[in-house]
């Protein structure tokens, strides 16, 4: 199986099962289920859950045991997109070519659908841990994995990054702040996905440290690539950089370093990530290919 | 110690410790901490955490061991108020006599502060369970208590009730829908607070069933009393019922049954709650007094 087939197989596993993890909802509130399902099924790369499953396998674990955690991570990512798109935040009418959640269901339901997905993700984690709570060793690994996910999605991770991103539009723009935003807003949940998968797979400390270093670099590669694509896409469309980030005067790698330097940073980080994985030989093939896949999205 | 002293002692315990459970946040996102703290410290009855602590003690448990769960429940309640007050939801400029969160910090930060509190509540639960995960019996109780809380605050509880409440403004208004809204929007988290406390305190099945019945009745008493106070408050202020619920044409007990019938329902539910607790004799004094306290708030 080549990289693409392997990636798509994992992606399909997530897409086939993710809505099964949503709680059943009475008819009086069924629009809540519809709104959550709408965004969960709206596509995307499913990068975070694929990373979690791959990292679990890399460490010798079983894909099916990691599936609830992979779906929980995707629920968290999806809720953050719904709230990000709201008029008070990025005010985006479209997400992945479809009307954003609040355009389909109204702002109130979109806020509650986001809340519902975050809450559901934790119910998924808690339910899964309850199933094996007579085994302290498994319980500890599952709790540890859950804690990694919750820490990275919260006020010491993703939400902190979003807040700093909003503030950066108004205040001074520094390299340190840019790195803080990217590390928290995007890289934290990506890194936690890799770490949680590894922990569930029974990793040792040294491998976990290597995978964490790999994931942090990869998280930055992912975000800088996204920033560049945003600028380039807008340049192609309009002849000048007027993308949403440029419009909002957001702090990005291209805005601070320029395009060429940003591409050089990506190259450097990718090489570093791959070097970390080299010692794991053929076992690390999928994760190495993933880095190439992320950097090779268009340029 | 009389009821009021006992209640205030528990309330103070919560207020002295709740912000300690917030994660430490780097300076770049410090406004997030300020916004979460602002609403956590904005006062209120602290009914849910007091119920959780009381119920734990009622079942022979230790108050200090239940404290993280009590604070997590109050964080969840607080996040729901922040999101409820948003312009897209109830559009309330004030909460407990102070500017609502979005009036102080802006809508974007208010949305993220709500998200941050919900996420933090789960981090608190997860961290506490991790501490004792080498003991399967304690772990199971803690996981069970956490699951009760998460289930009640999510799409099979509070959020479902909020969605039904929003929809009810537009659609048909029935007794069944009214009960569904109240049971989910308010009674679910109150009931879960009582159940979680009992589970942490080491309850047996029979006592848990009694406390659950007590809590459901009490939850309805609480919400109907709030609805009546809202109508009466507005009548006193303006001479006619133009409270926020009346304004939004929301489905409430007074709007459906009238004031007198609503008061009669409260009396009936209170008596039922107290009857359930009678067999526990003096041990149930605090919980019985609590019902009187809730119904006796103004009329």
pLDDT at B240 over 50: no
* A contacts of B118 (beta carbons < 8 Å): 115, 118-119
Q: From CA A285, how far away is CA A4, in angstroms rounded?
A: 12
- CA proximity to B261, closest of B224, B226, B216, B296: B224
Share of chain B above pLDDT 90, in %: 75
Of residues B113 and A243, more confidently modeled: B113
Would you say A259 and A224 are in contact if contact means Cβ atoms under 8 Å apart?
Answer: no
Q: Contact, A63 vs A53, CB < 8 A?
A: yes
From chain B residues 104-133, the ones with a CB under 8 A of any chain A CB are 106-109, 111-112, 114-116, 118-120, 122-123, 126-127, 129-130, 133
Which helix H or strand E contains B248, and what residues bound it? helix B244-248
**B118-155 per-position pLDDT tens digit:** 999 999 999 999 999 999 999 999 999 999 999 999 99
**Which chain A residues contact residue B139 at CB under 8 A?**
133, 136, 139
Q: How many CB atoms lie within 10 A of CB A107?
A: 17
Subunit contact B83:A111, Cβ cutoff 8 A: yes
Low-confidence ranges of chain A (pLDDT < 70): 169-172, 233-249, 297-299
Task: Name which of A27, A29, A251 to mutate to probe chain B: the one with the most chain B Cβ atoms within 10 A of its Cβ.
Answer: A29
pLDDT at B29: 85
CA atoms within 13 A on the CB side of A214: 27
- Which pLDDT value is given to residue A235? 52
pLDDT greater than 50 at residue B244: no
Q: Is there a contact between A69 and A200 (Cβ–Cβ < 8 Å)?
A: yes
Closest to A119 (Cβ–Cβ): which among B22, B118, B161?
A: B118
The shortest C-alpha distance from A213 to chain B (Å) reads 21
- When mean pLDDT is compared across A95-104, B151-160, B162-171, B236-245, the lowest value belongs to B236-245
Q: How confident is the model over B52-65, as pLDDT tens digits?
A: 999 999 999 999 99
Q: Do B111 and A89 touch (CB under 8 A)?
A: yes
Count the residues in chain B.
299
In angstroms, the separation between the Cα of residue A238 and the nearest Cα of chain B is 29
C-alpha separations of A50 from A56, A190, A197, A286, B45 in Å: 10, 10, 10, 11, 45
Q: Please spell the DSSP secondary structure of A104-135, one letter per residue.
A: HH-HHHHHHHHHHHHHHHHHHHHHHHHHTTT-
| pLDDT reported for residue A171 | 63
In whole angstroms, what is the distance from residue B203 CA to residue A231 CA?
A: 60
> Which helix (DSSP H) or strand (DSSP E) does residue A8 occupy?
helix A3-17
Q: Cβ separation of B115 and A144 shorter than 8 Å? A: no
Angle ∠(A112,A116,A122) on CA atoms, nearest 5: 150
Q: What is the pLDDT of residue A249?
A: 65
| Cβ pair A109:B184 closer than 8 A | no
Residue B67 token pair: 């404290």
Q: Residue ranges of the alpha helices (H) in A132-204?
A: 136-153, 158-168, 175-182, 188-200
**Is the pLDDT at B237 greater than 50, yes or no?**
no
Contact A167 B120 (CB under 8 A): no
CA distance A5 to chain B (A): 35
Q: Are residues A107 and B115, on separate chains, in Cβ contact within 8 Å?
A: no
Mutate to test the interface with B, among A73, A122, A125 (most CBs of B within 10 A): A122
A154 vs B contacts (CB less than 8 Å) = 23, 116, 119-120, 123
Domain boundaries, chain B: 3-295
Q: What is the pLDDT of residue B239?
A: 46
A 54-93 near B (Cβ less than 8 A): 79, 83, 86-89
Q: With beta carbons under 8 A apart, name residues in chain B contacting A163.
A: 29, 31-32, 109, 112
Asked if A111 contacts B91 with a C-beta cutoff of 8 angstroms, the reply is: no
Cα separation, B294 vs B63, in Å, equals 22
Helices (H) and strands (E) in chain B, counts: 15, 2
Tell me the pLDDT band of B250, cut-offs 50, 70 and 90: confident
CATH architecture of the region A3-295 = Orthogonal Bundle (1.10)
State pLDDT tens for residues B79-100.
999 999 999 999 999 999 999 9
- Residue of A170, A174, A271 whose CA lies nearest to A220: A271
Interface test mutation site (partner B, options A37, A80, A90, A163, max chain B beta carbons within 10 A): A163
Partners of residue B116 in chain A, C-beta under 8 Å? 154-155, 159
| C-beta of residue A130 within 8 angstroms of C-beta of residue B145 | no
- Asked if the model's pLDDT at residue B43 lies above 90, the reply is no
CB pairs < 8 Å spanning A and B = 186
For residues B220 and B267, give the distance between their C-alpha atoms in angstroms, rounded to a whole number.
11
Q: Is the pLDDT assigned to residue B51 strictly greater than 80?
A: yes
Distance from CA of A2 to the nearest CA of B (A): 38
Half-sphere exposure of B6 (CA within 13 A, CB side): 14
When computed from its CA atoms, the radius of gyration of chain A, rounded to whole angstroms, is: 19
From the list B32, B151, B163, which residue is nearest A112 (CB)? B163
Q: Which of B23, B26, B166 sits opposite A154 (nearest CB)?
A: B23
Confidence band (pLDDT; 50, 70, 90) for B241? Answer: very low
Å from B283 to nearest chain A CA? Answer: 31
Using an 8 Å CB-CB cutoff, list chain A residues near B166.
108-109, 112
Average pLDDT, chain B: 90
Token pair of B213 as six digits: 């019945």
C-alpha distances (whole Å) from B60 to each of B56, B108, B197, B198, B283 are: 7, 44, 10, 9, 10
Q: Is B166 close to A122, i.e. CB distance below 8 A?
A: no
pTM: 0.94
* Interface mutation vs chain A, best among B109, B129, B140, B154, most A CBs within 10 Å: B154
Contact A83 B167 (CB under 8 A): no
Mutate to test the interface with A, among B27, B29, B138 (most CBs of A within 10 A): B29
Lowest-confidence region among A5-9, A256-260, B3-7, B11-15: A256-260
Strand partners for A99: A94
Kindly report the nearest CA distance between residue B38 and chain A, in angstroms: 15
Chain A residues 159-188 with CB within 8 Å of chain B: 159-164, 166-167, 177, 180-181, 184
């Amino acid at each position: 199986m080549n990289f693409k087939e392997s990636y798509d197989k994992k992606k399909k596993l997530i897409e086939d099962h993710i809505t099964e993890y949503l709680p059943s909802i009475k008819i009086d509130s069924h629009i809540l289920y519809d709104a959550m399902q709408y965004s969960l099924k709206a596509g995307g790369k499913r990068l975070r859950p694929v990373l979690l499953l791959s990292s679990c396998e890399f460490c010798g674990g079983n894909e099916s045991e990691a599936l609830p955690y992979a779906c929980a991570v995707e629920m968290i990512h999806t809720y953050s997109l719904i709230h990000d798109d709201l008029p008070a935040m990025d005010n985006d009418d479209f997400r992945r070519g479809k009307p954003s959640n609040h355009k389909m269901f109204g702002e109130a339901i979109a806020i509650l659908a986001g809340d519902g997905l975050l809450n559901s993700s934790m119910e998924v984690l808690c339910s899964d841990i309850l199933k094996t709570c007579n085994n302290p060793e498994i319980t500890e690994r599952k709790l540890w994995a859950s804690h990694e996910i919750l820490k990275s999605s919260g006020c010491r991770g993703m939400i902190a990054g979003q807040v700093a991103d909003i503030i950066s539009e108004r205040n001074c723009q520094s390299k340190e702040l840019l790195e803080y935003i990217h590390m928290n807003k995007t890289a934290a949940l990506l890194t936690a996905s890799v770490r949680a998968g590894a922990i569930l797979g029974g990793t040792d400390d040294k491998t976990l440290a290597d995978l964490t270093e790999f994931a942090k670099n990869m998280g930055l590669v992912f975000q800088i690539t996204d920033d560049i694509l945003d600028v380039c896409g807008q340049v192609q469309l309009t002849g000048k950089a007027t993308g949403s980030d440029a419009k909002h005067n957001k702090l990005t790698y291209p805005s601070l370093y320029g395009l060429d330097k940003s591409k050089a940073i990506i190259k450097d980080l990718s090489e570093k990530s791959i070097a970390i994985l080299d010692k794991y030989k053929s076992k690390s093939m999928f994760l190495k290919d993933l880095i190439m896949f992320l950097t090779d999205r268009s340029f």
